Amino acid sequence: MLDHYTLLAPVYDLATARVLSPLRETVGRLVAEKGFVRVLDVGCGTGVQCVMLHALGCRTTGLDASPAMLARARRQSPAGVAYVRSDASGMPFADTAFDAAIISLALHENKPAVRTAILKEMRRVVRPGGGLLLVDYLRPETPVARLGSLAAHLPERIAGKAHYQGFISFLEAGGAQTALSEIDARVVQTIPFFFGAVGLVEARTA
């Protein structure tokens, strides 16, 4: 299988640290506050969020389809962090195996049917009453948020045609605010970032 992240993996952390650090820190605080211990990071990339959660006392598992990203994640993670290579739309985990599942800026790039399959899998592997944490683009609802959303178009275009089409369809479908409604999850709160262009949506399983 062609790994599109082979060239990106070595520079990914350096290129994204400034942008992603506030999001990751907020996810970590939320997980700690809610007392989630068994945590799955879907689309974990180079494992930075997994390492952060491990340091907070979580039993963390990272899942990603990219061998290059996972190789880097394993190199920079302590032994207690587990990594699994898999398509997120068909996860190799038992039902209710985790207290919470996170997906950060890795949902919007997919086709609608795939997005729904990923969210259903996240709900399946999280225990009743557990947490679903989605960090992704919000539907812009203010002039400032619309400017932030417009700024995201350039990097999303650079990521490739299919990626950009996923981004557009994600926003047209309502963004992160409505994505979890497709799996009948109860949204608890939405924490905005970047003037409301991106948000952390926290939801609960039934």
Q: Could you tell me if 119 and 182 are in contact, meaning their C-beta atoms sit under 8 angstroms apart? A: yes
- The answer to whether residue 1 sits within a structural domain is no
Q: Is 173 within a domain?
A: yes
The reported pLDDT for the residue numbered 74 is 95
* Per-residue pLDDT at 164: 84
Separation CA 113–CA 78 (nearest Å):
35
> Is the residue at 135 inside a domain?
yes
pLDDT at 3: 67
In a domain, residue 79? The reply is yes
CATH of the domain at 93: 3.40.50.150
User: In the chain, how many domains are there?
Assistant: 1
Report yes or no: 156 and 167 within 8 Å, Cβ to Cβ.
Answer: yes
pTM: 0.91
* Model pLDDT, residue 84: 98
- Single-letter amino acid, residue 87: D
Count Cα atoms within 13 angstroms, Cβ side, for 155.
10
For residue 162, which amino acid is it? A
The sign of the dihedral angle between the CA atoms of 30, 32, 33, 37 is: positive
What is the layout of strands, in order, in the sheet containing 198-204? Answer: 82-85, 59-64, 38-42, 98-104, 126-137, 198-204, 186-193
DSSP for 13-61 reads HHHHHHHHHHHHHHHHHHHHHHT--EEEEET-TTSHHHHHHHHTT-EEE
According to the model, what pLDDT value does residue 8 have? 63
**Residue 54 Cα to chain centre, angstroms:** 17
User: 14 Cβ partners below 8 Å, 6+ apart?
Assistant: none
206 residues of the chain, pLDDT tens digit each: 556 677 666 666 666 667 788 999 999 999 999 999 999 999 999 999 999 999 999 999 999 999 999 999 999 999 999 999 999 999 999 999 999 999 999 999 999 999 999 999 999 999 999 999 999 999 888 888 788 787 787 778 777 788 888 888 998 998 998 898 888 899 999 999 988 889 999 999 97
Do residues 26 and 190 touch, judged by C-beta distance below 8 A? Answer: no
In a domain, 4, yes or no: no
Contact between 50 and 41 under an 8 Å Cβ cutoff? The reply is yes
pLDDT on residue 51: 96
Q: Is 124 inside a domain boundary?
A: yes
Whether 166 is covered by a domain: the verdict is yes
Crossing angle (nearest 10°) for helices 67-75 and 9-34: 70
Domain residues for the domain of 127 are 9-204
Query: Which residues share a beta bridge with 186?
Result: 204
Within a domain: residue 62? Answer: yes
